[in-house]
Amino acid sequence: MPNEDNGALSPPADLSVELAGVRLKNPVVAVSGCFGFGREYGEWFDLGRLGGICAKGLTLRPRKGNPPPRAAETPMGMLNSVGLQNPGVEVFLRDELPFLRRFDTAVIANISGGDPAEYAEMAGLIGDAADALEVNISCPNIKAGGLQFGADPALAAEVTAAVKNRAKCPAIVKLTPNVTDIAAIARAVWDAGADGLSLINTLTGLRIDPVTRRPVLRMNTGGLSGPAVLPVALRCVWQVSGLGLPILGMGGVSTALEAAEMMLAGASAVGVGTALFRDPLSALNIVQGLAAFAAEQGIARIRELTGGIRPWET
Amino acid sequence: MLTAILQNKAIAKDIYDLRAAMETAPEPVPGQFVHIDCGGGLLLRRPLSLCGYDNGIARLVYAARGEGTRRLSRRRPGERLDMLGPLGRGFVMDSRPALLVGGGIGVPPLVFCADRAEGRVHAVLGFRNADAVCLTEAFASAEVLTDDGSAGAKGYPHEALRAHLQTGDWARVLACGPVPMLRAVAKVCAEHGVECQVSLEERMACGVGACLVCACGVNGDYKRVCADGPVFDAREVEWDA
Ligand SMILES: Cc1cc2nc3c(=O)[nH]c(=O)nc-3n(C[C@H](O)[C@H](O)[C@H](O)COP(=O)(O)O)c2cc1C
Ligand code: FES
């Protein structure tokens, strides 16, 4: 009963958050690679209702991507091996960004390069046309670059520094969980000047057709996402939260309560990706659900959740 | 979109005929698909081509051969069904005569084509064997072939197609079925200079064009089967990619 009274009487919670200096109207962000450049889901709902949108991963030159099959179902998850198919940063700036800019939502450009100089060049080309950069050093689906930068603290720092040197908007570095010590990588990119962290990218995985003995994916391995990775994502976010860098937390979130968990683990904003494939409106439902949760719990500002985990003494 | 299952029954070995209410505007066109939550806790939806659409009721005929469709086959009338759609780009048709070439579980969308055709159509339908034959009665004009001759004539659809294109006056071919059949059909059409549209299949996640997992090689690029297709001009498809 007291809860219901609270919900009815207290003003709606303030859902706005700040991520690396960027104000988001709410903490829910569509993640890179699951949302294209917004056009498709823009047919389903008003993109202005999202806190932010991470555009599909970009490279300096257009990339064709990997041969199909590129997807496989897994228990409560999926593997993908898209391989950064994208039209290149210049086409993005010319043809896609103006569309995204029509909506009252933060736009984050996700960038990948073959070497630090390429990352830096992309940061320079994007300038301040995006609200932030998401520096992808964690794509498991490309041969050169990608994961290789995210698995080595020195390389991760080198890429971060190169981007920071040219960037005209905050640079958030996207980390991979496919490492033994994610905190060490986080520390390295923090030292190199990152404005925030984004995690987790997908976990490397494999499925095999037992009859043909062939991997289901044409690239053999792919990246695991969806509900199956949620606990890994929460653990990773919690592990790097001690640095005090703003975090965009993602991985397996499909409900408002899971988004709240992600914030409690240390995230300022929460990414939603694979959940959209089941329900195109899932991100919106999470926004609404967070508002309801805040009202129910008597939380005036949703950002109070960030880092609010009360770990047990061990 | 939540709807109700009105019917879900077997019509051939492992082939099911499902009807569900689907209110949608504009009406779906042949070749379009719906993206279905098959139930049983699977994460990804499964795309199924529409076999027909009448008075707000969608008809889906599918093979229960994978994890998703097997679960779907166990769903009962009255149960709720969660589907997105209609999705994708369908066949382009007009009043000129068209040959419909179907293989196995590629036949259902051609039923929808025949139903909406404004001009003369004839169907060439291939199946593995007599057990797999289904939906042939849905066509006013059809011939049946099986790989082993256990029903209809023994042979493959592209062979029968060749005979039709040599003798008849057909403006276009609309085809759906396994890739080896489509490749052969595309080749025969190219030899005769006849337009050919093929409906392709690929594993999907979003089903709406946002995730790029459903790639197929078209004209030197990867296109999205869910949003750029599933129907493509056969001349542009990279069959050997
Ligand atoms: C189909 C697909 C494509 C993706 N493409 C990218 C990408 O281009 N760049 C990137 O940084 N992450 C990419 N990711 C990873 C997601 O952004 C996200 O980190 C991961 O999927 C975990 O979140 P989720 O479980 O909510 O999907 C992709 C994920 C999927 C499923
Ligand atoms: S299934 Fe996502 S783009 Fe086709």
Atom of ligand 2 nearest to the CA of B214: 4
pLDDT for the residue A1: 40
Domain at B160, CATH number: 3.40.50.80
| Closest listed ligand to the CA of B209 | 2
pLDDT per position as a tens digit, A71-129: 999 999 999 999 999 999 999 999 999 999 999 999 999 999 999 999 999 999 999 99
Interface ipTM = 0.93
**Residue at A312 is within a domain:** no
pLDDT per position as a tens digit, B92-132: 999 999 999 999 999 999 999 999 999 999 999 999 999 99
Q: Identify from A277, A279, A282, A285 which residue to disrupt to test chain B contact, counting B C-beta atoms within 10 A and taking the largest count.
A: A277
Q: Is residue B208 classed exposed, middle or buried when 0-12, 13-18 and 19+ CB atoms within 10 A define those classes?
A: buried
Q: Identify from B24, B212, B221 which residue to disrupt to test chain A contact, counting A C-beta atoms within 10 A and taking the largest count.
A: B212
Mind telling me the catalytic residues of A? 139
Q: Which of A39, A80, A226 sits opposite B213 (nearest CB)?
A: A80
pLDDT for the residue A2: 44
Q: Could you tell me the sign of the dihedral formed by the alpha carbons of A63, A110, A290, A230, in that order? A: positive
Lowest-confidence pick of B10-14, B60-64, B98-102, B188-192: B10-14
Residue B217 pLDDT greater than 60, yes or no: yes
**Together in a domain, B148 and B190:** yes
**Residue at B231 is within a domain:** no
CA of B161 to the centre of ligand 1 (A): 44
pLDDT for the residue A8: 54
Domain at A41, CATH number: 3.20.20.70
**Residue at A311 is within a domain:** no
**Together in a domain, B106 and B63:** no
**Residue at B93 is within a domain:** no
**Together in a domain, B104 and B23:** no
- DSSP labels, chain B: -EEEEEEEEEEETTEEEEEEE---SSPP-TT-EEEEE-STT-SS-EEEE--EEETTEEEEEEE--SHHHHHHHT--TTSEEEEEEEESB-----SS-EEEEEEGGGSHHHHHHHHH-SS-EEEEEEESSGGG--SGGG-SSEEEEESSSSSSEES-HHHHHHHHHHHS--SEEEEES-HHHHHHHHHHHHHHT-EEEEE-----SSSSSSS--SEEEETTEEEETTTT-BEEEGGGB-TT-
pLDDT for the residue B23: 87
Look up residue B169 and give its two tokens: 């006056």
**Together in a domain, B47 and B133:** no
Cα separation, B63 vs B53, in Å, equals 19
pLDDT for the residue B40: 84
Identify all chain B residues contacting A69, using CB atoms and an 8 Å cutoff.
202-203
CA of A273 to the centre of ligand 1 (A): 6
Of B45, B63, B87, which closes a domain? B87
Identify all chain A residues contacting B24, using CB atoms and an 8 Å cutoff.
none
**Residue at A193 is within a domain:** yes
Identify all chain A residues contacting B206, using CB atoms and an 8 Å cutoff.
34, 40, 276-277, 280
Cα separation, A54 vs A106, in Å, equals 8
**Residue at B218 is within a domain:** no
**What's the structural domain count of chain B?**
2
Domain span at residue B149 reads: 98-199
**Together in a domain, B177 and B112:** yes
**Residue at A314 is within a domain:** no
pLDDT for the residue A11: 76
